[in-house]
Amino acid sequence: MEFDLKTVPFSRRGSYLVISEIGDDWCGAKNEAGLYLRTVRSAAMTPLIARLLPMREEKEMHYTAELRGTMLVLKDGEGEIAFCFDDPETLLIRGGKGLSLTLDLLSDKGPFEYVYTVSRGRRVYSMANCFKNACRCLIGVEKGASELDQRWEEKTARYSRLRFSGEDGFEVSLREILTEWDGEIRTYDFDASAGAADGELLSFEARMPACPAAYSETAKRAAYLLWASVVEKGGCLPRDAMLMSKNWMKNVWSWDHCFNAIALSYAHPEAAWDQFMILFDCQDVTGLLPDSINDVRMVWNFCKPPIHGWALRWMMRNMALTPEQTKEAYERLSKWTKWWLDYRDYDGDGLCEYNHGNDSGWDNSTAFSVLPPIATPELQAFLILQMDVLSELAAQLGNETAAAEWKQKSERLLDLTLNKLFTNGSPTVVKSGSHEPVSNESLLPYVSIVLGEKLPEKIRRRMIGVLKSGKFLSEHGFATEALLSPAYISDGYWRGPIWAPSTMLLTDGLDRCGESGFAREIARRFADMVRTSGFAENFDAVSGEGLRDCAYTWTASAFLAMAHEYLL
């Protein structure tokens, strides 16, 4: 398939190495536009390892990119340069006759950057000390020859460029070394390595949720993105982790992971459990989950909304939990729910509150146009559903007393929510303490429709009427700010664009309110949009254009789950 390296990175499951085409000054790296080998390790001072310069007879190669299984191919009509992974640490490169490839290792981007020679027996390798990337790269020529152009200046190289070529083509291996090379001499078979990776991807893809034939190509792209966005565990990552992206959103946030776990739950139960539990592995003694994690850092300044009970219920429809998993889920969700009750009810009125937009996941929503803390109906809705799931889990564990207690807490919070956070049937945001309504035109309060049948009929009818009107609904789905709001911005993050999580939560709620036809229509609009615009972080609500990070895993996961549930 054609492959847009400007939006979707080329990588493989487990790897921190990435190839992509990037623009000038990408993420502040002060680089020229071009094709780059990057790292998604967060210890790196810059994500750029080397610029890749494919050439034909000393002239720039004008190529088109293609993905053949798990192999990236750059072709110009006369020949091609191909890339594949032997394993997560090792990239293989093969070029045809008349072609060459230069690795400009960007030695001017940081100190202590240089290439030196290491030998084992008759094998000679180039070792690139990539201090700026927190690694070294062991580079071997399997076929053809290499030529080093380097200028040394006291303690670093001014520039370091390795050029590979050969009369009959060339083959190169590049292996990421984090600590010390083990001295092992490896031989590589490019085709065998590509074939093995293809088999792994095909096995993964075959067990993804089934989708309508009209979206088969989109589903294949979604499966590739999910597979290729995983990195191996290490550092602060206690399990193999599906990053939100291998562009620049290279963390795991503590609600994003739920959507990826749902997509995996249909036929990858072990992987689904890992993605669901990875944030709970890092849970604080108070019950708080970190806002996000990566391989070197956990962020505790914020949190994310408690959608975990809602997500786990969806997962349990697709996969059976073992007794051990049931017990662990109950204990972890209990602590997480109690944290909200104990630490986020500032005025003691029984309603939980956000103290920043980031805590809601809707960072800059107009619901936060006043200084928080604020209480919102969808936050209570998530907790109500989570308490229901805790009641179910407690019953499965034979703890009927706990099951009854969680059920009572759920009913009590539902009553408080309906009495204090709905005005004339409409969901309302209020300030902590004063309960003064917060004026806003955000979609956020309407996500409380996720309560479905738990909402009184009058409130359901009122909310459904608004959602069916043109207030938020566009040709492509629900805008996150009213389309005619003065605060609406087409690329305003949570002040306008369509997002996958809000779409999926609303669609589920509508379906459980008996609006199955409307739910299917919203799922169709979303699926059609991503088929055209890719798996972007969010989308222009009017044009459907993909915005921000254009290779976002929760978008792919939401597409797969909704296409399977509502469009088959």
pLDDT in tens, 415-455: 999 999 999 999 999 999 999 999 999 999 999 999 999 99
Q: Check residue 122 and give its pLDDT.
A: 85
Tokens representing 74? Answer: 């750059």
Q: Are residues 154 and 103 in the same domain?
A: yes
Asked if residue 184 is part of any domain, the answer here is: no
Mean of per-residue pLDDT scores for the chain: 96
Looking at the predicted structure, is the pLDDT value of residue 155 above 90?
A: yes
List, for residues 284-297, the tens digit of each pLDDT value: 999 999 999 999 99
Asked if residue 5 is part of any domain, the answer here is: no
Asked if residue 11 is part of any domain, the answer here is: no
Asked if residue 4 is part of any domain, the answer here is: no
The CATH number that applies at residue 365 is 1.50.10.10
CA 495 to mean position of chain CA atoms: 21
Q: 543: which residues sit within 8 A by CB, 6+ positions away?
A: 490
Looking at the predicted structure, is the pLDDT value of residue 127 above 90?
A: yes
Q: Check residue 1 and give its pLDDT.
A: 79
Boundary-marking domain end, from 149, 169, 199: 199
Q: Are residues 326 and 460 in the same domain?
A: yes
Q: Quote the strand ranges of 333-482, DSSP E.
A: 374-375, 422-423, 426-427, 430-431, 473-474, 477-478
Looking at the predicted structure, is the pLDDT value of residue 102 above 90?
A: yes
Looking at the predicted structure, is the pLDDT value of residue 21 above 90?
A: yes
Asked if residue 2 is part of any domain, the answer here is: no
Residues 139, 148: contact at Cβ < 8 Å? no
Mean pLDDT is lowest, of 9-13, 181-185, 472-476, for 181-185
Q: 179: which residues sit within 8 A by CB, 6+ positions away?
A: none
How many residues would you count in the chain? 568
SS3 93: strand
Give the containing element (helix H, strand E) for 412.
helix 400-420
List, for residues 369-398, the tens digit of each pLDDT value: 999 999 999 999 999 999 999 999 999 999
Q: Are residues 110 and 133 in the same domain?
A: yes
Q: Per-residue confidence at 28, pLDDT binned at 50, 70, 90?
A: confident
Q: Check residue 109 and give its pLDDT.
A: 85
Give the containing element (helix H, strand E) for 293.
strand 292-293
Q: Are residues 134 and 221 in the same domain?
A: no
**Percentage of residues in the chain having pLDDT higher than 70:** 100
Q: Per-residue confidence at 135, pLDDT binned at 50, 70, 90?
A: very high
Q: Check residue 5 and give its pLDDT.
A: 94
Q: Are residues 217 and 136 in the same domain?
A: no
Q: Check residue 77 and give its pLDDT.
A: 86
Boundary-marking domain end, from 169, 199, 229: 199
Looking at the predicted structure, is the pLDDT value of residue 510 above 90?
A: yes
Q: Are residues 193 and 211 in the same domain?
A: no
- Tracing tokens 């088999």 back to the chain, one arrives at 199
Q: Are residues 195 and 220 in the same domain?
A: no
**Percentage of residues in the chain having pLDDT higher than 90:** 95
Q: Check residue 121 and give its pLDDT.
A: 84
User: How many domains does the chain divide into?
Assistant: 2
User: Rounded to the nearest 10 degrees, how much is the dihedral formed by the CA atoms of 394, 399, 400, 401?
Assistant: -100
List, for residues 49-84, the tens digit of each pLDDT value: 999 999 998 899 999 999 999 999 999 988 999 999
Burial of 122 (0-12, 13-18, 19+ CB in 10 A): exposed
Q: Check residue 50 and give its pLDDT.
A: 97
Q: Per-residue confidence at 254, pLDDT binned at 50, 70, 90?
A: very high
Encoded amino acid at 282, one letter = C
CB 469: neighbour CB atoms within 10 A? 10
Q: Are residues 390 and 505 in the same domain?
A: yes
Q: Are residues 131 and 238 in the same domain?
A: no
Asked if residue 1 is part of any domain, the answer here is: no
Output the DSSP codes for 232-258. Answer: --BTTBSS-EE-S-SSS--SEETTHHH
How far CA 66 is from CA of 13, 63, 74, 259, 463, in Å, comes to 19, 10, 7, 29, 46
In DSSP terms, 478 is beta-bridged to 473
Q: Per-residue confidence at 247, pLDDT binned at 50, 70, 90?
A: very high
Asked if residue 12 is part of any domain, the answer here is: no
Q: Are residues 116 and 233 in the same domain?
A: no
Boundary-marking domain end, from 171, 199, 227: 199
Asked if residue 447 is part of any domain, the answer here is: yes
List, for residues 328-354, the tens digit of each pLDDT value: 999 999 999 999 999 999 999 999 999
The residue segments making up the domain with residue 161 are: 17-179+189-199
Q: Per-residue confidence at 175, pLDDT binned at 50, 70, 90?
A: very high
Q: Are residues 86 and 225 in the same domain?
A: no
Q: Are residues 433 and 512 in the same domain?
A: yes
